[in-house]
Amino acid sequence: MDFKAVMMGLGFALMWSSAFTTTRIIVTAAPPLTALVIRFALSALVAIPLAMAMGQSLRLSRGEWRTVIVFGICQNALYLGLNWIAMQRVEASAASIIASMMPLVVAFLGWLIYSEKLRPIALLGLISGVIGVCVIMGVRLQHGLDIPGLVMCLIAVIALTFATLAARGAGGSRNMMAIVGLQMAVGAVALLVPALVMEWGQPVEWSGRLILAFLYTVVAPGIGATWLWFLLVNRVGAVRAATFHFLSPIFGVAIAAALLGERFGASDIIGASIVAAGILMVQMAKIPAAEAAQPSSSAARASEGRS
């Protein structure tokens, strides 16, 4: 992996992890589902014209449309919808730790459902990840971690995991930015009615901080990180790119502590480090089997690696 790929991976991990902090700022000042509908709509309005300007087509194959629908509903509507609602009650650092479990859950369910073999290092990584999460959440439960919010975050991770597994095998695509934009549009449509029913008339506490957080969420994690991710996947492959997710729990906790003043105790440092090690072991276990394959340009495999 060359220096440019490393910098791209660091940039992606930093932007992806920072989204939890900006989300926390948004949902404490605005209705979460309404904010998500606006975010998805704005992202689609930017990404789709950009894709067309890049010469990409909106006439997708059946596999590409399946990726758009599955990820638009499960990733955008269910995963982000539940996370944004939960983060009205749960700190950004806790939500980022739970979300960072995704590679571990994907590996576990891949073994459970598809009978995929787990190398010893991957099994050790799964065990380490669970231990790390238990260390962090055990201490936070003693400090008043909201149980319903925690449950919503866990359900959100499972929803995205099943979406990732369901999208395996879709054909390669040269319309990545178009797929990203259309996923955003599907998410906006899927959440529009729930937002109107559940949040009609709820006030928004407007401030410069809220506007900056919202713009950053749309531009950086929403579009920038996604595009950077696809570039990284095309450069080094989905499995190698996904190793950078081991930085997510560390970055997520550190950014929330720096910008929001959230607690950052010894249990967080130890637990986040154990989770990071577990993620790294699970992803490293996949690399030898993937080395013979060409770097993937498939939207579905890219999404799988990102998860």
Q: Is the pLDDT of residue 290 over 90?
A: no
Query: Phi and psi at residue 129, in whole multiples of 5°?
Result: -60, -45
Domain that holds residue 95: 3-306
pLDDT band of residue 302 (cuts 50, 70, 90) is very low
Q: Cβ contacts of residue 171 below 8 Å, gap of 6+?
A: 61, 63, 64, 298
Q: Is the pLDDT of residue 293 over 50?
A: no
Q: Cβ contacts of residue 161 below 8 Å, gap of 6+?
A: 102, 105, 106, 109, 307
pLDDT digits (tens, 9 = 90+) for 132-178: 988 988 888 888 888 999 999 999 988 878 776 765 544 456 787 88
Between 34-43, 124-133, 284-293, the lowest mean confidence (pLDDT) is in 284-293
pTM equals: 0.82
Residue type, 55: G
pLDDT digits (tens, 9 = 90+) for 191-249: 999 999 999 989 989 999 999 999 998 888 877 887 787 778 778 776 677 778 788 88
Q: Is the pLDDT of residue 256 over 70?
A: yes
pLDDT of residue 118: 82
**Alpha-carbon distance 145 to 150, whole Å?**
8
- On whether the CB atoms of residues 29 and 210 are closer than 8 A, the answer is yes
Would you list the DSSP string of 22-52? Answer: HHHHHHTTS-HHHHHHHHHHHHHHHHHHHHH
pLDDT of residue 292: 42
33 Rama sector, left if φ>0, alpha if ψ -120 to 50, beta otherwise? alpha
pLDDT band of residue 286 (cuts 50, 70, 90) is confident
Residue 295 DSSP symbol = P
User: Average pLDDT of the chain?
Assistant: 84
Percent of the chain with pLDDT over 90: 34
Cite the beta strand spans of the chain per DSSP E.
Answer: none
How many structural domains compose the chain?
1
Residue 75 DSSP symbol = I
Residue type, 207: S
